[in-house]
C-alpha cells in the first residue's frame, strides 16, 4: 500500500486517481480474459490452429494495452490534448493509407500491416477524435470568437468520409452518435440539431441504397429472411444458457458461432455463465457510463467535461451496439465489446480511452480551485 505521506509520482497518482474507474476497467479486462478461454478455443480449432492460440495472443495484447492505460493516466489534461492531437493525425493518415494499400477483408479496407502486426487505425482514431473535438468545443465556449465548433464540424466530416470510404457503417454511426452528444452538451443550436438529424437520416437511407451489404443486413433484420446463421446461432446460445448457464467450458452452441471470440462473445458468456451474469456485465457498463456522466456534470472545466462525457459515451454506445446485435435488437454489425472481445487494436484503443478517462478524472485540488475561480469570473460572480 502506498502511504499518503509519500510525495513521489506513484503515491500522488495512487491518491488522486479515481480508483472506482480503475477497478471497473481492470474488472472488465479480467472478465474479457476469462471469456477468451470459453470463446476462442473452438474458433482456433475450426481454422486449424492450436486451441489456445487466441488466448495466448489475447494475453500478449493485454501487456501493451494495460501499460498504455496506466501510462496515459499519469498525464495532465494538457498532455492528454497534445497526445490526442498526435494520435489523431497519425491514425487519420493511416486510415487514408489503408484505403489504397491496406488489407482488404470482406470488401473493406480497414487494416494496415506494420512489422507483422495488423492494425486497425480507426480504433485509435475514436478516442483521439473525442478528445480533440472536446478541446475545440471548449475553446469555442471559452472564447466565442474562436471557430471551434466550425473546426469540429470540418473534422467530423473528414472522419466520416474516411470511415464511409472503407466502408465501415458501424464505426460511422458510433462516431456520429458520440460527436452529436458532445455537440449537444456544448450548446448545439436547435437549428443545427434539425439539420444534422436530417443529414444523418439521409445518410442512412443513402447507405442503404449504395452499399449492398448494408441493405442485406437491414433486410435480414426486418424480414428474418436470407443468411441469418450468425445471429440465429448467437440467439440459440443465449437461450441454451438460461439463467445460470451450462458451466465454464460446457457450451456446445458456441462451437459453431463464426466470430464467437469477437463480435459474439456476449452470446458465449450467456451460454456458459447464464443470463444473470450477462445482466451483471451490462450493469457494469451502465455504472461506468453513469459515473462518467456524473463526473462530467460536476466538472467546471469545459474541456474535461466534454472529453469525459464523450469518452464514456463511446464505450457505452459501442457496448449497446454489440449487445444489441447479439440479442437481435439491432442489424448485424461487426463491432467488439469494449475490453471483453478479442482483438489487439480494439483492446489497446479502448485502454487508451480508459487512460484518457483516468487522467481527466484525477483529483487535482489546485487545478479545481483555479477552474472554480475562472468559472465564477466568467459568469460575473464574485471570486471566492
What mean pLDDT do residues 304-333 have?
A: 92
Collapsed DSSP state (helix, strand, coil) of residue 330: coil
Determine, yes or no, domain membership for 200: yes
pLDDT of residue 149 exceeding 70: yes
| pLDDT average, residue stretch 198-224 | 76
Whether the Cβ atoms of residue 234 and residue 267 lie closer than 8 Å to each other: yes
Mean pLDDT of the chain, nearest integer: 86
List, as own/partner pairs, every contact residues 66-69 make where C-beta atoms lie below 8 angstroms and the sequence separation is at least 24, other chains included: 66/29, 66/351, 68/348, 68/351, 68/352, 68/355, 69/25, 69/351, 69/352, 69/354, 69/355, 69/358
Quick check: is 372 in a domain? no
**pLDDT for the residue numbered 195:** 81
Question: What value does the mean pLDDT take over residues 185-206?
Answer: 80
In a domain, 211, yes or no: yes
User: Is 375 a residue whose pLDDT tops 60?
Assistant: no
The verdict on residue 380 lying in a domain is: no
- Identify whether 318 is part of a domain: yes
Cα dihedral: 129, 132, 136, 139 (round 10): 160
| pTM for this model (two decimals) | 0.89
13-31 pLDDT per residue, tens: 888 899 999 999 999 999 9
pLDDT in the model for residue 377:
47
Who wins on pLDDT, 246 or 356?
Answer: 356
| Tens digits of residue pLDDT in 212-259 | 767 777 777 777 666 677 788 888 999 998 899 888 888 888 888 888
Report the pLDDT averaged over residues 272-283: 95
Q: Give strand ranges (E) for the chain.
A: 103-105, 108-114, 117-119
Does a structural domain hold residue 292? yes
6 lies in some domain: no
Q: Is 382 part of any domain?
A: no
Instruction: Tell me what pLDDT residue 224 has.
Output: 64
Residue 32 pLDDT > 90? yes
Q: pLDDT above 90 covers what percent of the chain?
A: 50
**43 band by pLDDT with thresholds 50, 70 and 90:** confident
Number of domains in the chain: 1
The answer to whether 147 and 282 have CB atoms below 8 angstroms apart is no
Domain around 288: 19-361
Residue 326 pLDDT greater than 50, yes or no: yes
Amino acid at each position: 500500500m502506498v502511504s499518503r505521506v509519500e510525495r513521489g509520482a506513484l503515491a500522488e497518482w495512487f491518491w488522486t486517481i479515481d480508483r472506482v474507474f480503475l477497478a471497473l476497467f481492470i474488472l472488465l479486462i479480467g472478465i474479457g480474459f476469462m471469456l477468451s478461454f470459453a470463446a476462442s478455443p473452438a474458433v482456433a480449432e475450426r481454422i486449424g490452429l492450436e486451441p489456445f492460440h487466441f488466448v495466448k495472443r489475447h494475453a500478449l495484447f493485454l501487456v501493451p494495452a494495460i501499460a498504455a492505460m496506466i501510462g496515459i493516466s499519469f498525464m495532465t489534461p494538457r498532455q492528454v490534448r497534445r497526445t490526442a492531437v498526435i494520435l489523431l493525425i497519425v491514425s487519420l493518415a493511416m486510415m487514408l493509407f489503408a484505403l489504397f494499400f491496406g488489407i482488404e477483408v470482406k470488401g473493406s479496407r480497414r487494416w494496415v500491416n506494420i512489422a507483422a502486426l495488423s492494425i486497425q487505425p480507426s480504433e485509435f482514431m475514436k478516442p483521439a477524435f473525442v478528445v480533440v473535438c472536446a478541446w475545440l468545443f471548449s475553446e469555442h465556449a471559452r472564447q466565442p470568437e474562436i471557430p471551434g465548433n466550425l473546426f469540429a464540424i470540418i473534422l467530423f466530416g473528414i472522419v466520416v468520409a474516411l470511415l464511409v470510404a472503407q466502408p465501415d457503417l458501424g464505426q460511422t454511426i458510433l462516431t456520429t452518435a458520440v460527436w452529436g452528444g458532445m455537440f449537444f452538451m456544448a450548446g448545439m443550436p436547435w437549428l443545427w440539431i434539425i439539420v444534422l438529424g436530417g443529414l444523418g437520416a439521409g445518410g442512412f437511407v443513402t447507405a442503404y441504397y449504395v452499399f449492398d451489404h448494408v441493405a442485406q443486413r437491414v433486410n435480414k433484420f426486418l424480414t428474418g429472411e436470407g443468411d441469418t446463421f450468425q445471429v440465429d446461432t448467437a440467439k440459440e446460445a443465449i437461450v441454451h444458457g438460461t439463467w445460470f448457464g451450462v458451466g465454464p467450458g460446457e457450451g456446445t452452441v458456441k462451437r459453431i458461432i463464426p466470430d464467437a471470440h469477437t463480435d459474439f462473445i456476449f452470446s458465449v458468456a450467456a451460454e456458459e455463465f447464464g443470463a444473470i451474469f450477462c445482466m451483471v456485465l451490462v450493469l457494469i457498463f451502465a455504472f461506468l457510463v453513469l459515473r462518467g456522466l456524473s463526473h462530467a456534470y460536476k466538472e467546471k472545466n469545459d474541456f474535461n467535461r466534454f472529453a469525459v462525457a464523450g469518452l464514456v459515451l463511446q464505450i457505452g454506445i459501442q457496448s449497446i451496439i454489440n449487445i444489441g446485435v447479439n440479442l437481435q435488437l439491432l442489424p448485424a454489425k461487426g463491432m467488439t465489446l469494449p475490453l471483453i472481445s478479442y482483438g489487439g487494436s480494439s483492446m489497446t484503443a479502448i485502454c487508451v480511452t480508459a487512460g484518457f478517462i483516468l487522467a481527466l478524472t484525477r483529483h487535482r485540488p489546485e487545478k479545481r480551485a483555479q477552474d472554480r475561480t475562472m468559472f465564477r469570473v466568467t459568469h460575473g460572480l464574485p471570486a471566492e
